Every structure is written in structure tokens, then in C-alpha cells.
């Protein structure tokens, strides 16, 4: 247990030097007496709220509840607005700015008089960014997930944001619904604060954070507008104060076993393919080697128990009332590391001790899983030497072994321009290939991977095609979409060499992605290939393009992922 004089913030506010005097004077300028927090843990509340992030529109209020918990526990809260990374509105993709928020998080925690932190996020990239930065900073910290929004509704149907957006948009393109129905759907898809209520990237990553022990038990699935979410926020503020006194730093929680349990959790949930990139990046900040192959190995032994869209039938609100993540994990204890520490101060196993499942159709039993093996596979072959990913649980089964001719698009603009060209040589057997959409080529690896099916095929009832890209796709998406092809085309990966008509083989059971072209011909094409010009000439975009790693390494910046420490600032 720490003494008040041991607090990191004491170096700013205590003592009898000029800078200490200055800090106390400026505190009075804020309308506060230094005596109110001298000797108390100072807790930074990093809030990703903004007016343009609907997933986080309630976090302004939740920050006040976190503060209440901090005050009640004898701490002193300080709120910091940080980058919001709104999944819907930020272009070309918030993935481009994940590392920027991670850098901001790390440097705020390092440079201000903070003893601990509460991290507030939930929209897709905010969770990994906040946790990456906190892992690098090393202070006591815990995460408050934004929580899923309420179910959507349209007429007598229950809607899931993202998943049903794609479905009904294709219905409209196929002529099955019209503008009037689409306008009604627009009003019903997203009807409360909170992130997507399907098992998209947001719920996948907040669940992973809980499984790693970085939230209070049961936090991830609480609907954003449920009063339990307010109580969780206040309890998190109080717990952050206790973590400071206990010197329970995030590095004591983020062990290798925590990452292994996060992988198990993501797979059992039927979670987003984006989790591979984010967890690999987070593990890099913890100095723990993690690669796509670790997910593939785990996928062969982990069943899918969460019957949640897009791979299942229900939504996150149903999941919460069925027992939530604790209920699901209580059925997987034989695959988990139960003795490791969590931010609650208790072991992981202890946090699951009284968990219950109240609906066996929402959270399946081991004897009746949604799928006996997890629905994510990592593919390799001459088209993806460093790997590619497919969420085959959400793909048409007849496409999981398929060979067909490639229809190639140079980038997303080319795709949008030509996908419905009547002269495009595309059939139900074609393999759509999109390049120029990776970390550098995108830029930022946008969620272009669920390539649209041509209108004329939709009209004939074709609802899935094999699609291959170096892009990502939304966790709410579905289809036979091969993603994260590494290395990407913009740096000379084999995807850059594919031509129209080349036969491409996808074999998910065999974990194979192969271009059926002789090596001699590929060598000739490689010799003729010209690297495209970088999109950014200056600024953050240039920094990103010069330092981002490929998908199999987590798309972090190399200088952030490497080992080594930074000196503590001298506040005197």
C-alpha cells in the first residue's frame, strides 16, 4: 500500500519548491483548494465523448458519475477530452487515427500529475487505442465501456445496426423494398446512445477488455441507457482510487494469459475479425508476441457459444439479460486462466464464481454450440504469405472451398465506378479482388472488405461471392470475405500481381489462399510492378505511412510497439 507522499501527483503538488508553489497557485485559479487533493490519488478520466460520436453521446454524463465514484473513494478526478474516433463519420477511416489516440493517451498519462486513470470508450477503435496507450504508460488504469445501444425496430422486426443495414440496403438494390421502407428503416436502426448492439468490433473489443480483466466484472454487456451502466461508471471511479493505493498497475493485469483468454473470448463470441489486428497491437505494447496463427490455433478448439448477429440470431441486449459475458465465460472455464489478477483486485476465476446463464438459446451450452469450432480462420498461400483472415461462420458454406476467375479492382474508387458496369465479366463463380486498401494503400486500412455484389447478381438471388482484399470489414458484416491480406498490395504483396481472369483458390478447411499462376509468370509481373505513390506528403498521414506495420503485426507504429522505457517527467 502506498503512502500519500508516495503518490506520483505529490511531486507536482507537494514540496516547497518554485514549481510546487506554481502548481498550487494555478490549482486555486481553477477555483479549487490544493488541500482538497493533496495526499489524495489524482485520477485522470480520459473521455472520448463528442457531439459527432453517437456511440458515446452519453459519456459526458457518465464522466460525472465516474467523478462521483472518485470523490466518494477519497480521490481527486480530472477529466481530459481525447480524440473521439467516430466510426460512422471519420474518414477515410478511424483506423487511420487509432494510433494517434493511443499516442495521446500515453502522453497525457505520462505528462500530467496523474496517479491512475479511468478510460472511457467503446466505439470500435477507441477501446484498443485507449488500452494500447495505457499499457505503454503503465499507470493503474481501468476501462469503462460505453455499452451497446438498444435493439432496433422496424414494423414487427428486430434490427441489428450494421448487420441489417447491409441486408436491407442489398434488398433495396435488388428491388425487394423501396424508398418508403428504407426511410422507415433509417428511423429504426439506431435509436439510443451506445455502440452497435450486434457482435461487431465494438462489442467484441469491450468484451475482450473485460475478459482480460481491464473492466469491472460484467461491465461490457450493460446497455448504455440501463441504470446499471451509471452504477458501473461510479463504481469504476471508486475502484480506480483503490488501484492507486494498491499500486495495481495495468502491466500486472496484461500478462500473456490475459491475451490468451481474450482470444478465447473473441472466438466464443463469434467476434469481429478486427480483433486480430487490435489484440496483436495491444500485445505488442505489453511486450508479448502475438500473431494471427495464435488465433487460428485457438479457433480449432474453441466453440462458438454466443448466438448473436451477424453469426447468430440475437442482440447484445438479449445477451446481457441472458447472463452477459460472465455467463458465457462460466461455461468455458476449462479453457481459461483463472488464477490471474484483474483490475477488481480479485482473480479472474473469482469474478466468475457466481455467474449464471438464464437463456440457453442466447448463450449456448458446450453440448449445443452455435458452432463446434470458432468461425475465424487464418489463411496462407502464395496470395497471402503473411496471412489473411476470413470469418467463415458468416459466409455461404458452399463458398468455403471455391476456385474461380478473378475480377480485379485497383482501389475503392475503381470498385464503385465499375461494380455495376454491364460489361463487367462477373458471374456467381467470380472472385472479386480489391487492392489498394491496406494500411498504407487505403490509407488506414478502411472497412472496404465486404465488397458489394453487383446489382444484376443480387436481382438473380446471388447473396454471396468470394471477395478478397487487403482491407478490413465491419464486425457487423458478413459473407465469404477474405481480409487483411498481408503483405498488402501497396508494398508489393502478391495481391498487386493478380490480373482479371486468373484463377484463385479459397480452401478454408485447408487454410489456403492461392493464386493459380506459375511462379515464373508471377516473377515477370513482379519485375514490371511499380509501387504507387504515397498519398500523404506531410503531417500525421506521412508519419503514419512511414511507420505503420502490416496487418499481421497489428498496424501499430514500430517506434511505439518496441520495448524500452521513457523517463518520468520532472515536475520541479
Q: Percentage of residues in the chain with pLDDT exceeding 70? A: 100
Q: What is the pLDDT of residue 445?
A: 98
Q: What is the pLDDT of residue 23?
A: 93
pLDDT mean over 195-222: 97
Question: In this model, does residue 490 exceed pLDDT 90?
Answer: yes
pLDDT mean over 184-194: 94
Bridge partner list, 433: 408, 468
Question: In this model, does residue 283 exceed pLDDT 80?
Answer: yes
What is the Cα 223 distance to its own chain's centre? 18
pLDDT-derived band at 98, boundaries 50, 70, 90: very high
Question: In this model, does residue 223 exceed pLDDT 80?
Answer: yes
Residue 102: its H or E element: helix 98-111
- Asked whether the beta carbons of 536 and 548 are under 8 A apart, the reply is no
Q: What is the pLDDT of residue 214?
A: 98
Q: Alpha-carbon distance 379 to 387, whole Å?
A: 5
Give the alpha-carbon dihedral of 204, 206, 208, 209, to 10 degrees: 170
Other Cβ atoms less than 10 A from the Cβ of 335: the count is: 18
Q: Alpha-carbon distance 57 to 60, whole Å?
A: 7
Q: What is the pLDDT of residue 360?
A: 98
Q: What is the pLDDT of residue 430?
A: 98
Domain regions of the chain by residue span: 40-150+192-351, 154-188, 376-528
Query: What tens digit of pLDDT does each residue of 404-419 get?
Result: 999 999 999 999 999 9
Q: What is the pLDDT of residue 358?
A: 98
Pick the CATH number of 376-528 from 3.40.390.30, 3.90.400.10, 3.40.1010.20, 3.50.30.80: 3.50.30.80
- Asked whether the beta carbons of 489 and 174 are under 8 A apart, the reply is no
Q: What is the pLDDT of residue 561?
A: 94
- Among residues 13, 40, 217, 253, the alpha carbon closest in space to that of 138 is found at 253
pLDDT mean over 346-352: 98
Question: In this model, does residue 36 exceed pLDDT 80?
Answer: no
Q: How many helices (H) and strands (E) does the chain have?
A: 21, 14
Decide which of 38 and 206 is more confident: 206
Question: In this model, does residue 476 exceed pLDDT 90?
Answer: no
pLDDT mean over 411-430: 97
- Among residues 415, 513, 424, 401, the alpha carbon closest in space to that of 468 is found at 513
Question: In this model, does residue 382 exceed pLDDT 80?
Answer: yes
pLDDT-derived band at 163, boundaries 50, 70, 90: confident
pLDDT mean over 322-334: 98
Q: What is the pLDDT of residue 434?
A: 98
Question: In this model, does residue 33 exceed pLDDT 90?
Answer: no
Q: What is the pLDDT of residue 458?
A: 93
C-alpha cell at 38: 493533496
Which pairing describes strands 401-409 and 503-507: parallel, antiparallel, or unpaired?
antiparallel
pLDDT-derived band at 37, boundaries 50, 70, 90: confident
pLDDT mean over 475-491: 95
pLDDT-derived band at 38, boundaries 50, 70, 90: confident
- Among residues 146, 147, 139, 135, the alpha carbon closest in space to that of 114 is found at 139
Decide which of 162 and 327 is more confident: 327
pLDDT mean over 315-329: 98
Question: In this model, does residue 572 exceed pLDDT 80?
Answer: no
Query: What tens digit of pLDDT does each residue of 46-90 get?
Result: 999 999 999 999 999 999 999 999 999 999 999 999 999 999 999
pLDDT-derived band at 32, boundaries 50, 70, 90: confident
Q: What is the pLDDT of residue 3?
A: 92
User: Residue 8: helix, strand or coil by DSSP?
Assistant: coil
pLDDT mean over 468-488: 95
Query: What tens digit of pLDDT does each residue of 294-303 get?
Result: 999 999 999 9
Question: In this model, does residue 166 exceed pLDDT 90?
Answer: no
Q: What is the pLDDT of residue 571?
A: 85
Task: Tell me how far CA of residue 279 lies from CA of 98, 118, 176, 261, 284, in angstroms.
Answer: 13, 20, 40, 11, 8
Q: What is the pLDDT of residue 305?
A: 98
Question: In this model, does residue 401 exceed pLDDT 90?
Answer: yes
φ, ψ of residue 76 to 5 degrees: the values are -130, 110
Q: What is the pLDDT of residue 5?
A: 93
Mean pLDDT over all residues of the chain?
96
User: Residue 97: helix, strand or coil by DSSP?
Assistant: helix
Rg (CA), the chain: 24
Amino acid at each position: 500500500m502506498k503512502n500519500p507522499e508516495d503518490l506520483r501527483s505529490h511531486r507536482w503538488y507537494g514540496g516547497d519548491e518554485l514549481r510546487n508553489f506554481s502548481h498550487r497557485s494555478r490549482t486555486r485559479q481553477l477555483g479549487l483548494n490544493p488541500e482538497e487533493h493533496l495526499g489524495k490519488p489524482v485520477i485522470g478520466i480520459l473521455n472520448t465523448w463528442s457531439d459527432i460520436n453517437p456511440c458515446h453521446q452519453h459519456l459526458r454524463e457518465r464522466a460525472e458519475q465516474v467523478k462521483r465514484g472518485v470523490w466518494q473513494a477519497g480521490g481527486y478526478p480530472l477529466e481530459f477530452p481525447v480524440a473521439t474516433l467516430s466510426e460512422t463519420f471519420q474518414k477515410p477511416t478511424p483506423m487511420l487515427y487509432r494510433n494517434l489516440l493511443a499516442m495521446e493517451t500515453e502522453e497525457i498519462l505520462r505528462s500530467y500529475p496523474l496517479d491512475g486513470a479511468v478510460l472511457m470508450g467503446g466505439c470500435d477503435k477507441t477501446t484498443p487505442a485507449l488500452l494500447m496507450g495505457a499499457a505503454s504508460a503503465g499507470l493503474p488504469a481501468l476501462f469503462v465501456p460505453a455499452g451497446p445501444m438498444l435493439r432496433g425496430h422496424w414494423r414487427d422486426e428486430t434490427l441489428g445496426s450494421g448487420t441489417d443495414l447491409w441486408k436491407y440496403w442489398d434488398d433495396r438494390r435488388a428491388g425487394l423494398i423501396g424508398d418508403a421502407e428504407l426511410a422507415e428503416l433509417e428511423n429504426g436502426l439506431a435509436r439510443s446512445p451506445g455502440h452497435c448492439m450486434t457482435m461487431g468490433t465494438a462489442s467484441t473489443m469491450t468484451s475482450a477488455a473485460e475478459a482480460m480483466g481491464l473492466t469491472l466484472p460484467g461491465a461490457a454487456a450493460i446497455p448504455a441507457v440501463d441504470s446499471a451502466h451509471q452504477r458501473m461508471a461510479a463504481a469504476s471511479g471508486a475502484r480506480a482510487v483503490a488501484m492507486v493505493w494498491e499500486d495495481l498497475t495495468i502491466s500486472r493485469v496484461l500478462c500473456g494469459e490475459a491475451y490468451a483468454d481474450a482470444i478465447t473470448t473473441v472466438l466464443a463470441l463469434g467476434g469481429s475479425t478486427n480483433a486480430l489486428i487490435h489484440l496483436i497491437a495491444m500485445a505488442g505494447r505489453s511486450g508479448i508476441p502475438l500473431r494471427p496463427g495464435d488465433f487460428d490455433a485457438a479457433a480449432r478448439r474453441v466453440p462458438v457459444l454466443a448466438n448473436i448477429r451477424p453469426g447468430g440470431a440475437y442482440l447484445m441486449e438479449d445477451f446481457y439479460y441472458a447472463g452477459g459475458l460472465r455467463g458465457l465465460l462460466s461455461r468455458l472455464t476449462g479453457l481459461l486462466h483463472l488464477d490471474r489478477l484483474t483490475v477488481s483486485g480479485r482473480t479472474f476465476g473469482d469474478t466468475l464464481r457466481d455467474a449464471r446463464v438464464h437463456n440457453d438459446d442466447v448463450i449456448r451450452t458446450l453440448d449445443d454450440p452455435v458452432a463446434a469450432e470458432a468461425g475465424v480462420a487464418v489463411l496462407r498461400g502464395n496470395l497471402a504469405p503473411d496471412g489473411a483472415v476470413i470469418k467463415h461462420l458468416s459466409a455461404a458454406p458452399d463458398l468455403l472451398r471455391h476456385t474461380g476467375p478473378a475480377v480485379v479492382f485497383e482501389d475503392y474508387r475503381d470498385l464503385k465506378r465499375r461494380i455495376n458496369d454491364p460489361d463487367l465479366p462477373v458471374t456467381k463463380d467470380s472472385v472479386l479482388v480489391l487492392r489498394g486498401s491496406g494500411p498504407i494503400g487505403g490509407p488506414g486500412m478502411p472497412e472496404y472488405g465486404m465488397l458489394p455484389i453487383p446489382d444484376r447478381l443480387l436481382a438473380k438471388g446471388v447473396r454471396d461471392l468470394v471477395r478478397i482484399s487487403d482491407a478490413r470489414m465491419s464486425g457487423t458484416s458478413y459473407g465469404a470475405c477474405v481480409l487483411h491480406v498481408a503483405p498488402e498490395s501497396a508494398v508489393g504483396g502478391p495481391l498487386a500481381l493478380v490480373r482479371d481472369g486468373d484463377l484463385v483458390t479459397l480452401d478454408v478447411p485447408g487454410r489456403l489462399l492461392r493464386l493459380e499462376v506459375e511462379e515464373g509468370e508471377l516473377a515477370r509481373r513482379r519485375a514490371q510492378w511499380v509501387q504507387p505513390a504515397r498519398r500523404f506528403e506531410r503531417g500525421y498521414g506521412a508519419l503514419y505511412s512511414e511507420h505503420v506495420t502490416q496487418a499481421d503485426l497489428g498496424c501499430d507504429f514500430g517506434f511505439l510497439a518496441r520495448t524500452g522505457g521513457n523517463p518520468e517527467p520532472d515536475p520541479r
